Each structure stands twice: as structure tokens, then as C-alpha cells.
Amino acid sequence: MIGINLRKLIECCLFVITNCGLDYTAPMDTSLEDFLTRHHIHEVECVIPDMTGIARGKILPRDLFLASGEMRIPKSVLLNTVNGQQPDNGPFVGDTDPDMVCKPDGATVRIVPWAAEPVAVVIHDCEEWDGRMVQLSPRAVLRRVLALYERQGWKPVVAPEMEFYLVARQQNPHEPLQPPLGRTGKPEVGRQSYSIDAVNDFDPFFMELSAFCAQHRLGVETLIHEAGPGQMEINFTHGDPLELADRVFLFKRAVRETALRHGVFATFMAKPMEGEPGSAMHIHQSISDADGHNIFSRPDGTASELFHYFIGGLQTYIPQVMPMFAPYVNSYRRLAPYMSAPINVRWGYDNRTCGIRVPKSGPANRRVENRVPGVDANPYLAMAATLACGWLGMRDHLQPSDPTEDSAWNVSHELPRHLEDAIEVMRVCEPMKDVLGDTFVDAFCAVKELEYATYNRVISSWEREHLLLLV
């Protein structure tokens, strides 16, 4: 990946951090109260991610937050669709719509850098009244998968790549999105992959975003311009999957907030523009043992059996958990041949036409890149799903295909074409239910079914244009 104006970005971040009294290199406060006191916090945003990845919760005064020590909200909040509806939640939460107990994870507390006064945000874990994790919680689902690795003495390491579009502000959802105007006063035209000048056209936005990410402790490192007009990519430093999911969850909000301050929209929609590439969340993954050694490599540096089993698991189960990688109708518009998105589960070395890519690296850094997830996916669920696929492969010794050495663009579709098909496949995948939990899988599919039904009630402009007077 190619970075832009690295020195300028670093200088900006250091200036902001120095002048607001924050130390990015310092370890996180172990005491929430100490953190809130030291940073003169007035209010605390208490948030949980729902199944769509939207932040839900409450905003509390500092003293009330410290006095309560927890947040109580209806368990059914986790079941909201992207447009605010809920399926029949009785089978999943009970007929009385009870509360759940949300407890702050002190490791997630952060300053909200764009707030007008000192505000902190804390991500919470969802628990039942007896202390068990709420199975519907995306954070709990990821913890459940990570526990499988922990029992083996293994530690997954991930690094996501986040693509998104900057688009001109508009209020009419029936009008196509347009690229925004940059410093030149003109919108982008054509493909601008890796263009430094195209990124520099939005320097004020990226300078502030970089500063916000540093204050927010998000650990972003590389910025590039992707192929589409106004399409960007930001990469994260590698680390623990739960921590990275938290960072991605907060990053999306930071990008949208920064964009609004600069008079544009930022969208993590998988396919926002007709005829342009969609946006992905590529996930690089490796596994370390208790001694910190990469289990994908043998002592002699060659690829291990576990490496091949992990790929075999991805090939077997990615098509069966597609709603977690491509959660909306729009998600499947991205998965088209010759549009920089996979339509297959082939794998290959440094082969971007495959759904599963193995980047070139030394034995210590051997890793697998899952290129299927869209950037619209819930980061907790996408990481849980990809690690669950790999886990099942290693558990059941699933052999992968031979690596693809040429282009895979001409391979037939190996992924579900539509959300409806993907839901049906996921609902009956028993091995994945065992890993992710029956209750979660059934509830997640119910949410996605309701979203699909809602979409099907909409009459599109294409239908009005071509069917109104011609059939």
C-alpha cells in the first residue's frame, strides 16, 4: 500500500495530541473514573453495537455513569433492522421484552474528539441477569469464537482494510450519488487508483480525520485512493480481533462525522455508485501460538497443515455465512466479475482475482486475506464469521483446492447471488450454528429476512422507467 503525505499527517496528529494533553503512546487507563477525571469529562456515551453495527445506547452525565456502573436497555434493541424495524422477537428475547445488563469495558473508553465539550465513549458488553453473555450480542458472538482459539492456546491476529466513498451531499435518495468537489472545485472523473493528487484534493478532510483517529486511538496507518471516484481506503495496524472490531466500529462513525464537518457525505455502502467498484473490508488473518509463533508456518519456513486447513475452512464455509459478509441487498451488487470484487472462493498466492488471497511474506508473517466481506458488514460479525470458518477447517482437517495461478475472473459464481439465497443457506448450516450459537443464527436470519421483505416492497426507478409503458 502507498501512503500519502506521511510526514504531514504525523505532524498534524502530534500537534493535535500535544495541544489537547493526550499521549497516544501511553497505556489505557485501568480506572474509568481516573480517565474521566483526568480528561474533565462531562458526559459519557454508553454504546453497544446491534446486529447491523449501528451504535445504540444512552448518553449519561459523568456522575450518573460512575454511580450506576451499568446500563440497562431492552434486549430487543439488538434485533433492530437497518431501517429500525424488528422481527417477531418473542422467540429470541421472551414475550415480556426484558432488559439486559450492559457493563462498560474499560479498555474501550475513548475521548470523542469532535464533541463541542469533553465527552467520552465506552463500548459495553451485554449480559443476562445471571452474568451470562447475551447470545444476540455481536460482541458476544466474537468472544465466543475467540474462546475456541483460546482453548487451543492460540491467538488470532487480524488487520482489516476499510474502503469507503466520499460523495456530494444530497437530500433526495432517488437521485444517483455524485463525487464531491475537492479543492480544485471539480469532481473526480475516471479511475484514480493510488493517485496521490486525487487524495490531496481532500487534504483538509484527511488531515482532520487523521487527527481524530489519533485522539480516538484507532491505530490507522495507511491511506490510499481506490479505483472509484472519491473512493478511499484506510488500513489498520494488526492486532486482537475484538480490539480491531471495536476500532472499526468507532472508525466508521469518525469518518462520517469528519465528512459532515467538511460538507460531504462518507458512505460505507457496499455499492453506492452504478458502474463503479464497490467497497470491501478485506480481513488479513494469522494465528499465533502461546510462544508467539505463527502456526501457519513450520519451523523450516514452509506452510503448515493448519495453514491449508484454515483455507479449506474458508472455502467450505464462506458461502454458508454470506449474510455476515454481505448483509444487505446492495451488498451483492458489489460481488460482480471484473469489478475488483470476488465471486468465488478460490485461493492463490498474491492473486487478487481470488476470494482468498495469500500475500507474499516471510514465514513469521504468513497470513490469509479474506477478500469477500463488504465494508457494510458488522465488523464484529465479519471477524467472527471468518475466524469461525477457519476454525472449522482446522478442527475438521478440511483440505483446500489447489491454488489458482491464473485469473479467477472467469470462474463461475461460487457465492450466493442474492441475500434471500444466502439467508436460506446460512439458516441450515449446522456446524456454523454450533460455533456461533443457534439463537444468534436464527435471530440474525430473522433480522435479515425482514430487511429483505422491506426492500421488496419498494418499486425502483428501473421498474418505473422500463415497465411503466412498455409491458
| Inside any domain, residue 188 | no
| Inside any domain, residue 15 | no
Model pLDDT, residue 290: 93
Model pLDDT, residue 79: 95
Model pLDDT, residue 183: 80
| Inside any domain, residue 255 | no
C-alpha cell at 326: 454481505
Q: What is the dihedral of CA 288, 433, 436, 316, to 10 degrees?
A: 40
CATH number at residue 93: 3.10.20.70
| Inside any domain, residue 99 | yes
Please state, as a whole number, how many other Cβ atoms lie within 10 Å of the Cβ of residue 18: 11
**Pairs from 13-17 (Cβ < 8 Å, separation ≥ 24):** 13/210, 13/211, 13/213, 13/214, 15/211, 16/211, 16/214, 16/215, 17/211, 17/214, 17/215
Domains in the chain, number? 1
CA distance 249 to 446: 23
| Inside any domain, residue 46 | yes
Tell me the pTM.
0.91
| Residue-range definition of the domain harbouring residue 77 | 27-135
C-alpha cell at 376: 457494510
Instruction: Using the structure block, give the residue that is written with the C-alpha cell 492456546.
Output: 153
Model pLDDT, residue 426: 97
| 10-residue averages of pLDDT along the chain (471 residues) | 41 38 37 92 96 95 92 95 92 92 95 94 96 96 98 97 94 87 78 77 90 92 87 94 97 95 95 93 97 95 97 98 97 90 94 95 96 97 98 98 92 93 97 96 97 94 90 86
Model pLDDT, residue 182: 80
358-to-214, 285, 404 alpha-carbon distances in Å? 30, 10, 11
| Inside any domain, residue 71 | yes
| Inside any domain, residue 180 | no
Count Cβ atoms within 10 A of the Cβ of residue 181 and give its class: 0-12 exposed, 13-18 middle, 19 or more buried: middle
Model pLDDT, residue 250: 97
CA distance 93 to 294: 40
CA distance 159 to 177: 30
Model pLDDT, residue 12: 44
| Inside any domain, residue 90 | yes
- Report H helices in 137-232: 138-151, 196-200, 203-215
Tell me which residue of 282, 290, 453, 309 sits closest to 377, measured CA to CA: 282
